[in-house]
Amino acid sequence: MLGRVLTRFLPHSTRGIVVFVLLIAFLPMLLLQLYTFYDRYGDRRAQESLADLEIARAVASAFDVYLRDVLRHEFVLGKAIDLSQPMSAEQVSKFLAGNVEQIPAVGRLIWLTPEGRAIASSDPNAVGTDYQDRSYFQQIARGDEWAVSELLRARVDGKPGFAIARGIRGDEGSLQGVLVAGVDPELLDERELRMQLTGKAAFSIFDGQGRLVYRSPNVDLSWEQRSEGGAEAIVRRALAGEELTATYTSTVDGQTMMGAFTPIRSISWVVGSARSEAEVMAPMNEDLLRDVVLALLVGLAAFFAALLVSRWLTYPLSLLRKHSVALGSGNLDERVVATGPLEFKDLALAFNVMADDIQAKQEALKVQNEDLQAANEALIQAQEDLMRLAAIVQSSEDAIIGKTLDGIIVSWNGGAERLYGYAPEEIIGKPVAVLVPSQVADDLPAIMERIRRGEGVAPYETVRVRKDGSPVDVSVTMSPVKDLNGNVIGASTIARDITQRNRAEQEIMRLNADLERRAAELTAVNKDLEAFSYSVAHDLRAPLRSIDGFSQALLEDCADQLSAEGKQHLQRVRAGSQQMAQLIDGLLGLSRMSRGEMHFEEVDLSALAQSIAAELFTEQPGRRVEFICTSGVVTNGDARLLRIVIENLLRNAWKFTGKHSCARIEFGVAELEDVLAYFVRDDGAGFDMSYADKLFGAFQRLHGAADFPGTGIGLATVQRIIRRHGGNIWAEGAVEQGATFYFTL
């Protein structure tokens, strides 16, 4: 039936058949071209969707970085407020107003009491507002470290925004207050999110309720429109934790969009990136038009080529028919003349090469046999490799277990036998659940589901049960086992005993906790001592002033009634009270060195040294002192405190060289054991190095007050300032050979 149909409709001439065949051959090319375009079209959509997804991921990551940056600012500001108490609400508000512009996109900062009432803010309108019902405040009140609200209407001005709140807690963990940063989405831009978008891509950020928090480029939307946009269902899926791409109709842009959505894991928000489908796929549509035109041109060219080829084939075919008829009539000497296209030449020569073809087939069989032998040798080598691998697995110290997807154990190495106590014949064929205690048994189904998907399980710590029922801490790694076709057929588990390691870690944690407790006790003792010193110093001032004042009054009002010895006694009383007052001032100065906020900045130590030296020369212009100062010595620290350091060291050098007719004082910097050390050196009285440990103690003096007056507080003050800068100070010297004081910062 098919033959009759073909005979009826096909051309009857050779030329017609050739033309027909060539045209039919062109049809698959056209279909292939269409398929290729369709495939490219799909690839282009996939590539563009992946690009949108990468943008969404980048924005999600950038927003997470922005969130951490705001939380860091809040922590620093909140701790500053907490540690600076007591501060009035007005002072806190001024402090917040002075720092709000340092945090990108934050419109206001609000300080809440532990009860949720705003007592201070960079925006005066927010003071007095009760935030107790806000979910983010309730989260922190329940113990969370920080919280982020959904998109809200501000109670102050009704503008949409969201809050980033950070709880500030004391040393005991009690809530001291909550610092809330009100973020204005309109102030966010690609620069704040550290994004540089190209083309016409737009990205959006949605809160946990699916409301539009921010969109770039920005579009003015009402509150109601923020929960619309055509992608509500997609956003809900992304909020559920799914990362996806989709095509949807945007009610904001009024066109079909290609977009990608990914969750922000840290706060359960969603970032979406979208572009107009028409604009993205416009180049592909232009390619389609070009390909259609090209296909039509190729079709016309093929038709005319078929006519020419048919004419070219006619003559060789007629010759082939003539010689074929002669061979068919029994003329074995007749040979086909090799002429025309290559195919006809091959056909003509086929009659003369049959014997050669048989020989060629024999050679081919020989080659195939050699290939089979090589394959057999490769198989033997693979078996040897497998045996070596099995030996390695068997001798491993780690427990290596093979199991089916149903959890049935199928292999058990020596490490597993040593770890769990089961011999292979006791455990193979049993479910792996016999090794899993009941408290972690619920983890197995989720892990096996990941294995079925072809995913590996990174090392995690858990508990297993030995044959004798005792628990053992292990670190477990699981990998899927696949067959030659890539199908998952089982799982390989590697377990390592970490019992000793966990014990060591617990001991370290115990020791750290004990160390922290001791450090806290030491800090408390130091604070008590400092408060005691400060109180005693203040309480002693009044009686000393009375002693000095009444002694002076006696000298002035009763001079005629006092003997010379009495006057001398009163002078000694006054000198002693004045010396005591200087000691009290030194004690107060030493106490202040441990308190107060430090302001770090660039400090020119050379300029400080030269300024103080000039003051010393002005006070005692008759002294012959050579002062040497290294120029350009610059560091970073508190300028006021560092001046006290340089002044104390230079005045000490000036004082202890006072008994020499000519003196030399030097300020400079040196590198000692890869550490930059600053120094003040003199050639004065020096000191005995065996007493060097007393130099920096309060009221410790190595020289008599009659020889070198002073309070014994200066070097103790210097040491405390250096330690507050994280540095160290020490001295080297010899009696009557001078001294050198080194310090680092």
pLDDT one-digit tens code per residue, 691-714: 777 787 665 665 555 556 666 677
- pLDDT exceeds 90 at position 1: no
Burial degree of 643 (CB within 10 A; 0-12, 13-18, 19+): middle
4-28, pLDDT tens digit by residue? 655 565 565 665 666 666 667 667 7
Instruction: Report residue 214 as tokens.
Output: 């921010």
Instruction: Report residue 86 as tokens.
Output: 């007591």
- pLDDT exceeds 80 at position 201: no
Percent of the chain residues past pLDDT 90, beyond the cut: 30
Whole-structure pTM value: 0.40
- pLDDT exceeds 50 at position 256: yes
Mean pLDDT check: name the lowest of 281-295, 514-528, 581-595.
Answer: 581-595
* Number of other residues whose CB lies within 10 A of the CB of residue 641: 21
3-state secondary structure of 698: coil
pLDDT recorded at residue 575 = 67
pLDDT recorded at residue 282 = 75
- pLDDT exceeds 70 at position 362: no
- pLDDT exceeds 80 at position 458: yes
pLDDT, greater one: 631 or 534: 631
Burial 709-745 (b: 16+ CB within 10 A, else e): ebbbbbbbbbbbbbeebebebebebeeeebbbbbbbb
pLDDT recorded at residue 9 = 54
User: Which residues is 215 bridged to in the sheet?
Assistant: 204
354: pLDDT confidence band, cut at 50, 70 and 90?
Answer: very low
pLDDT recorded at residue 248 = 81
Looking up tokens 């005993």 gives 497
* CA–centroid distance for 411 within its chain: 41
**Long-range contacts from 132-139, C-beta under 8 angstroms, 24+ separation:** 134/163, 136/163, 136/165, 136/180, 137/112, 137/165, 137/178, 137/180, 139/165
Mean pLDDT check: name the lowest of 29-38, 681-690, 723-732.
Answer: 29-38
- Residues with Cβ < 8 Å from 638, sequence gap 6 or more? 598, 599, 600, 601, 603, 724, 725
Instruction: Report residue 662 as tokens.
Output: 């000519």
Q: For residues 138 and 449, give the distance between their C-alpha atoms in angstroms, rounded to a whole number.
A: 37
Give the chain's radius of gyration (CA, Å). 46
pLDDT, greater one: 513 or 14: 513
Most confident among 50-64, 72-86, 112-126, 154-168 (mean pLDDT) = 112-126
Percent of the chain residues past pLDDT 70, beyond the cut: 76
The arithmetic mean of pLDDT across residues 250-263, rounded, is 82
100-145, pLDDT tens digit by residue? 988 988 989 999 999 999 999 999 998 999 999 999 999 999 999 9
534: pLDDT confidence band, cut at 50, 70 and 90?
Answer: low
Looking up tokens 């005693």 gives 536
pLDDT, greater one: 25 or 514: 514
User: Which residues is 216 bridged to in the sheet?
Assistant: 203
211-243, pLDDT tens digit by residue? 888 887 777 777 777 765 567 788 888 888 889
577-599, pLDDT tens digit by residue? 666 666 666 566 655 555 567 88
Single out the residue of 585, 594, 592 nearest to residue 537, CA to CA: 585
Mean pLDDT check: name the lowest of 29-43, 212-226, 518-532.
Answer: 518-532
- pLDDT exceeds 80 at position 308: no
Single out the residue of 199, 245, 204, 243 nearest to residue 59, CA to CA: 204
Q: For residues 721 and 648, give the distance between their C-alpha atoms in angstroms, rounded to a whole number.
A: 11
- pLDDT exceeds 70 at position 255: yes
CB 268 within 8 A of CB 208: yes
Looking up tokens 């007393």 gives 694
